[in-house]
Amino acid sequence: MTTISNEKTVTDGTDELQAHPTPGLAVTATVAKPKGRKRRRTTWLPPLVVFLVIVAVWYLISLFVLNPNLRFLLPLPQDIVMKGFIDPLSFNALIVALWQTVIVSMLGLAIAIVIGVVWAIAMSQAKWIERSLFPYAVILQCIPILALVPLIGFWFGYEFQSRVLVCVMIALFPMVNNTLFGLQSVDKGHRELFTLQGASRFTTLSKLSFPAALPAIFAGMRISAGLAVVGAIVGDQFFRRGTPGLGILISNYSSRLQGEQLFATIITAALFGVLVFWLFGLLGRRTVGKWYDFS
């Protein structure tokens, strides 16, 4: 086999090559470092300032605007921490409810991911399947969950599985829609490359369409994960039997006017939602970030 001159290749486009070790790289790195730190500070500083302003306004309202016997409407932050989080009774209830919400939402999310991906793959196989099935994905998205609550209760009871079902229904559409979009946005040239080699439907799916759709699938997962948390809280409000989740705790505290505990629970739910969103973003970056700019 004849080897084509290597000499020319190395000069060809080497300057554009990012991962190529050059002696100058170390210098660039040291110069770049403070720049990076500065940029990091500019990303966390503004939100921190806003946070401090919010807390200040909070104190103002709580201390000077609210009548002391109406203070449960906006309890003092230190009371929320002490009575809502640290108090052993509140803390235990919070942990149990959080764990229940974690299980309900993550199980609902997992089911939504599986159904959503399978559904989208089925639709990507033929235009007629897409035309037959896509309207139902839209309808599912459009039905107010509230309207279905009595029916879900009749069919699946008023505890765990109904809460999971609510999560699935809320989280499903972004999975279906994103996966389908990803599968359909495969580059035409790539498709033809596979066609020319006589690749089967399954091979094309597993080696081309599915990997190409992964960034869209992860984007969908991140949206669905946030929605699944919402679904678990909402499901709690309707299906109240069995171990309480954060949603049940919220409605209990609000009916007992326990403002400190109510705020602690709401903050916990919010933090869990943020954590889930962040985790799935991280998962996406870890999986496809090497070749796709997943932000």
For position 131 contacting another protein by CB under 8 A, the verdict is: no
For position 194 contacting another protein by CB under 8 A, the verdict is: yes
Binder to another protein among 9, 28, 92, 132 (CB under 8 A)?
9
Whichever of 12 and 99 has its CB closer to another protein, that residue is 12
Please report how the helices 210-238 and 259-288 are oriented relative to each other, as an axis angle in degrees rounded to 10. 170
Among 270, 273, 268, 265, residue whose Cα is nearest residue 228 = 273
Tell me the C-alpha distance between 54 and 123, whole Å: 47
For position 283 contacting another protein by CB under 8 A, the verdict is: no
Whether the CB-CB separation of 133 and 122 falls below 8 Å is answered with yes
Could you tell me which stretch among 8-16, 86-94, 170-178, 234-242 binds another protein (CB under 8 A)?
8-16
CB of 29 to another protein, least distance (A): 18
Binder to another protein among 203, 206, 257, 275 (CB under 8 A)?
203
Whichever of 98 and 288 has its CB closer to another protein, that residue is 288
Q: How many residues bind another protein (CB under 8 A)?
A: 37
Whichever of 44 and 291 has its CB closer to another protein, that residue is 291
Tell me the C-alpha distance between 101 and 232, whole Å: 6
**What letter represents residue 129's amino acid?**
I
- Residue spans of alpha helices (H) in the chain: 6-11, 25-60, 77-79, 88-125, 127-142, 145-156, 160-184, 188-196, 201-204, 210-238, 246-255, 259-288
For position 69 contacting another protein by CB under 8 A, the verdict is: no
Whichever of 209 and 268 has its CB closer to another protein, that residue is 209
Binder to another protein among 33, 196, 252, 276 (CB under 8 A)?
196
Q: Give me the torsion for CA of 276, 277, 279, 282, rounded to 10°.
A: 170
Footprint of another protein (CB under 8 A): 1-6, 8-9, 12-19, 187, 189-190, 192-199, 203, 207-208, 211-212, 214, 288, 290-292
